[in-house]
Every structure is written in structure tokens, then in C-alpha cells.
Amino acid sequence: MSAGELRACVEGLLLAGGDKMVPPDNRCCFCLTLRLGAIIIGLINFLLYLFAFSWYIGTVGFSGDFEAQVSNMDISVLVLFCVQLMVNLLLVIGAVKRVPLHIFPWLCSNAVVIAIIMVMIFMLVFFGASKNELNYNEYVTSLSLLSLLAGTDMFCCIVVFQFRRNLILESRIQTEDSGVGHQGFNPTCSAPPAYEDAAPGSPPAKVPLEEPPPEYEAALAMLRPGDTTPPTSTLPVYSTPGTHLRRKSSLTNKHV
């Protein structure tokens, strides 16, 4: 275990009981950081695709008398090279400015490239040299080059993916340290303002108060001697059409 890994383990143990998150490890191979590795990957791929595109135009795209002969294959190759040049340029810009959104197109395009290379390797292995019209040396050379290209591209995708993941994690840590991300869950936050403070120009809405029912003694005092039913203004009688509902006149007897 190296000194850097030991330091990361100690920091993780110290911060395990707290609320802070451990910052991600941005180390790459050959004492490089993930950011510098992503920049180098983008620049090398950009230069390689630019060189391959120039070679294709100079040797295949034009005939001997420099007359353009554009075919569907040429258009497909042109689109492929343009897309690769654009995504590699976005990778370099995103790595320099630390923007994760600029790195995502490179991962998508290289995932498609890896899938195409794997299909080509499967076709070579499945059909063999005779079906692909290759001799033994050409077959072994093609299979080795495609395998090396697929492995290198996978390693580059892992480096770029880890760099993008670390960028997202670092931005989340900065948000939590600033207190913006957990503002809604902070118990020390003040209560929301009153309605009058939030809308000073509009009058507060008032709910109409209903008249409370009279007390028991007041209701008994309102009954006159000889009455069997309370006044209709005090205790209304509810009835439905065609029926007559009768209520008790007193709570001390059973007269209705």
C-alpha cells in the first residue's frame, strides 16, 4: 500500500463519523491526474482522427487526376470523422473547464466505436480467415490490431468516465459545504414569513364567524310556559319534502 492510499484510508476513517464526504481520488496511471489523462486522451484522439481523415482524403477520396469522386462510403466516413473530431474537442474543453456535460458525448461516441470493434472481432473469430478472404498472417494481424484497439479504447473510456464521476462528486461536496443543497432540511432555518409580510399590499383573508349556539340555561329561559317546542328562530326544524320532522322540546323530559 502506497503512502497516498494510506492517507486516503486514514481520512476516510476520520471522516466516517461526520457529515462530510470524502473527496474522490483523482490519480491516474504514470503519476498523472485524471484531468490531465482526459486532456491527453482527447488531444491524441483528435490528432489521430485528423491524420486518418487526411490520409483517407489523399489516398482514397480523390483519383489520380484530382477529380472528386464522392460516394456513400465517403459521406459515411466524413460524418464519422467529423463526429469524432467534435467529441474529442469537447472532451478537451470539458476537462480544462471541468464541465461534466461536455464529457458525456465522448463517452457515448466511443461506446459505439467499441461496439463496432467488438462486432468486427466476432466476425473474424466466427467466420475465420477463409470466409474473410485473408491469409494466416493477415488474419492474425487484423485480430491483434482490433483487440489492441478495443482494449485501449476501453481503458480510455474508464479513465474519462471516472474523471466525469469525480467532477460530479466534487460539485456535490461543494454544494453540501456551502449549505445550499440541504437548506430545506436545516433545523436552524427560520420559520416562513407571515401572510402580512409576504403580501403587504393585499388585505388578510378573514373567515366569517358563525354565531355560537346559546347555553343550556339560556335556551331553557327562552321557552315560554306552556310551549312544547323551542322558537323556530333559535332551533330550526329541518324537514324534507313530504315528511315532518319533530324535535324534543326539552332535555329533561321525553315530550316531543
Residue 158 belongs to some domain of the structure: yes
Sign for the CA dihedral angle at 233, 237, 241, 244 comes to negative
Do both 147 and 76 map to the same domain? Answer: no
- pLDDT score at 135: 85
Q: How far is CA 230 from CA 80, 215, 237, 249, in A?
A: 94, 14, 10, 6
112 versus 10: the higher-pLDDT residue is 112
Strand partners, 246: none
- pLDDT score at 155: 92
- pLDDT score at 238: 47
- pLDDT score at 178: 76
**Which DSSP helix (H) or strand (E) runs through 131?**
helix 104-131
Do both 107 and 155 map to the same domain? Answer: yes
Last residue within a domain, chosen from 131, 156, 178: 178
Do both 50 and 120 map to the same domain? Answer: no
Do both 108 and 66 map to the same domain? Answer: no
DSSP summary character for residue 215: P
Residue 201 belongs to some domain of the structure: no
- pLDDT score at 14: 45
Helix (H, G, I), strand (E, B) or coil at 236: coil
Q: Give tens-digit pLDDT for 207-227.
A: 667 777 878 787 777 776 555
Residue 57 belongs to some domain of the structure: yes
Query: Is 158 a residue whose pLDDT tops 70?
Result: yes
Output the nine-digit C-alpha cell for 102: 461536455
Whole-model pTM: value is 0.57
Residue 163 belongs to some domain of the structure: yes
Strand partners, 33: 27
Residue 142 belongs to some domain of the structure: yes
Across the range 147-169, mean pLDDT stands at 91
Q: Give tens-digit pLDDT for 93-143.
A: 999 998 999 999 999 999 999 999 999 999 888 888 877 788 888 888 989
Last residue within a domain, chosen from 145, 178, 211: 178
* Residue type for position 175: T
In terms of residue numbers, what domain contains 134? 98-178
